[in-house]
Amino acid sequence: MAPVRLRHPKGATTIQVDFDNFTVLDLQQEIYAATEIPPSLQDCNLGIKGEPLIVNSKLGAESRTPEPSAPAPTSIAPPASQLPMPEFNGGAASSGSNSSPESVEISPGQFLVHRIVPDDNSCLFSSVALVFLQDQNKAQSVRKIVADAIKEDMVTWNEAILGYAPLSRYLLPTNQVSPRRPRDEYISTIQKPLSWGGAIELTILAKHFSTEIASIDVETGRIDEFPPDPDADSGYLCILIYSGIHYDAATIAPMQDAPADFHQTLVGQDDKETVLKAAKKLADSLRAKKAYTNTATFDLKCQVCGKGLKGEKEARSHASETGHTEFGEY
């Protein structure tokens, strides 16, 4: 372990970093413990050798609580571009199941439409199934794709990478590094309907379908891109919407209320800039309705003992004290 000096909005502190074994996830965890800046909002400047690591919060973000009208989410998980710390994943990003889906106009006769999938712990897999299999009910088939890919590639998907994956039910104490999860356990867990998916799963699925997957975060507007293998790139792109606790899809339709059969789920890379611009506008619209959840402030319940908790920090503390590692949101 080696000391690394952090400078952040609350002052300065020193964290211990294991340069030989730490992953990006482990480093983000230590930064979160010291600064209380959620991994998805960490903005780091490395500077020159010998100077402190400067960490700020993206967009000057502050804690926000969803409006009472937001649907009650039910589980935990995440995503981001560099296999980040787990985030919570479960409740729908919509502002109400009875309202029309949000949409933005791309061009005359083209609308990017928010396609809401159930908040049943399989939202990432359901969204991907909707996009690539045209059937959100085929989430289990998508899970099997992930499990098979991990099983077949022991080098890429080794225990060090899988040790602290977004689907994990392990919410570690903030002063510990992540455990190394057995590959067999991960493969078994990811095929269960109540396990969650995140960056690892999106990385695998982008390669499997030879298509770039772009996930846009409602709260921050950040876009995380998961590319296919360059040698097998289909030249297409799809869009997912991430609310902090839930994934949905976004597809293109000739009108806002067009039937599902008329929706186009993939777009060519030539239209990428235009579609991502529309995706940002769609996220802006959802953000204005507070259709996202801040994981630092939402209410959780330990699924083992039933204790109520506030946010990821209390969940980590409870896990440290009790060993309980299964949580859901009220």
The answer, yes or no, to whether residue 53 has pLDDT greater than 80, is no
The average confidence (pLDDT) of the chain is 76
Average pLDDT over residues 274-289: 94
Question: What pLDDT was estimated at residue 111?
Answer: 96
- Rounded to whole angstroms, the Cα distance separating 219 from 39 reads 13
pLDDT at residue 119 in the model: 86
What pLDDT was estimated at residue 60?
A: 39
Q: What is the pLDDT of residues 190-217, one digit of tens each?
A: 999 888 888 899 999 999 999 999 999 9
- CA distance linking residue 17 with residue 19, whole number of Å: 6
Confidence at residue 167, expressed as pLDDT on a 0 to 100 scale: 34
Q: Which residue has the higher pLDDT, 24 or 115?
A: 115
The whole-number pLDDT of residue 273 equals: 96
Among the options 44, 148, 233, 324, which is catalytic?
324
What pTM does this model have? Answer: 0.65
Which residues contact residue 198 at a Cβ distance below 8 angstroms, ignoring those fewer than 6 apart?
77, 78, 79, 80, 86, 87, 89, 124, 165, 166, 167
Task: Report the percent of the chain where pLDDT is more than 70.
Answer: 70
Question: Residue 25: which pLDDT band, with cuts at 50, 70 and 90?
Answer: low
Q: Can you list the domains of the chain with their CATH numbers? A: 2-60 (3.10.20.90), 103-288 (3.90.70.80), 299-329 (no CATH)
* Residue pair 25/164 in contact by the 8 Å Cβ criterion: yes
Per-residue pLDDT at 48 exceeds 90: no
pLDDT more than 90, % of the chain: 41
The catalytic residue among 26, 119, 123, 248 is 123
Is residue 8 annotated as part of the catalytic site, yes or no?
Answer: no
Residue of higher predicted confidence among 197 and 116: 116
Tell me, what's the pLDDT at 226?
95
114 among known catalytic residues: no
- Using pLDDT thresholds of 50, 70 and 90, give the confidence band for residue 301: confident
Please indicate whether residue 215 or residue 38 has the higher confidence score (pLDDT). Answer: 215
Q: With 50 as the cut, is the pLDDT of residue 95 above it? A: no
> Is the pLDDT assigned to residue 153 strictly greater than 90?
yes
pLDDT band at residue 82 using 50, 70 and 90 as cut-offs: very low
| 71 three-state secondary structure | coil
Largest separation between any pair of C-alpha atoms in the chain: 59
Say which of 8, 114, 208, 246 is annotated catalytic: 246
The catalytic residue among 120, 148, 233, 271 is 120
Q: What is the pLDDT of residue 279?
A: 96
Provide the 10 A C-beta neighbour count for residue 261.
Answer: 6
